[in-house]
Amino acid sequence: MATVFTKIIKGEIPCYKIAETEDFFAFLDINPNAKGHTLCVPKKEVNKLLDLDEETYTGLMQFARKIGFAIEKTIPCNRVGMTIIGLEVPHVHVHLIPLNTMEDMSFSKKVKLTSEEFQKIASAIRENID
């Protein structure tokens, strides 16, 4: 069965889209640790990071780096953190999280945003992609 992220990529489930290339897709995490928390995923549906072929692995990192720069330009923060977990959604994804404290990486501290706020953040990040 297709993962929730494949459904997002295909446009079957809505998302706050940030960017798309032939092979990768970025959108805001719906339950963010911090404003601007973004997920970068390969369109290829693979469960675990280390099961990606090397080209997709390095391509994903290059894509996430580009999106990370745009997040850093958009969201006031100390730095953008990166983590890969995948225990909830079995489709490789890189979390990019604007950080001010260690707690922002903990996945226990969440921020609530309205749809308008999500849209505003996504649009601002999109505008800062080089």
Distance of CA 82 to the CA centre of its chain: 9
State the nearest-atom distance from the C-beta of 70 to ligand AMP, in Å: 18
Among 22, 50, 55, 87, binds ligand AMP (CB under 6 A): 87
Amino acid making up residue 75: I
Distance CA 12, CA 65 (A): 27
> Nearer to ligand AMP by C-beta: 87 or 130?
87
Q: Which stretch binds ligand AMP (CB under 6 A): 18-26, 48-56, 57-65, 82-90?
A: 82-90
3-state secondary structure of 54: helix
Query: Among the candidate windows 18-26, 55-63, 80-88, 116-124, which touches ligand AMP by CB under 6 A?
Result: 80-88
Distance CA 11, CA 124 (A): 21
d(CA 83, CA 31): 15
Residue 89 sits in the site that holds ligand AMP (CB under 6 A) = yes
Active site residues: 93
String marking each residue 15-54 x if it binds ligand AMP according to CB under 6 A: x-------------xxx-------x---------------
- Residue 79: partners with Cβ closer than 8 Å, 6 or more residues away: 72, 98, 99
Residue numbers at the binding site for ligand AMP (CB under 6 A): 4, 13, 15, 29-31, 39, 85-89
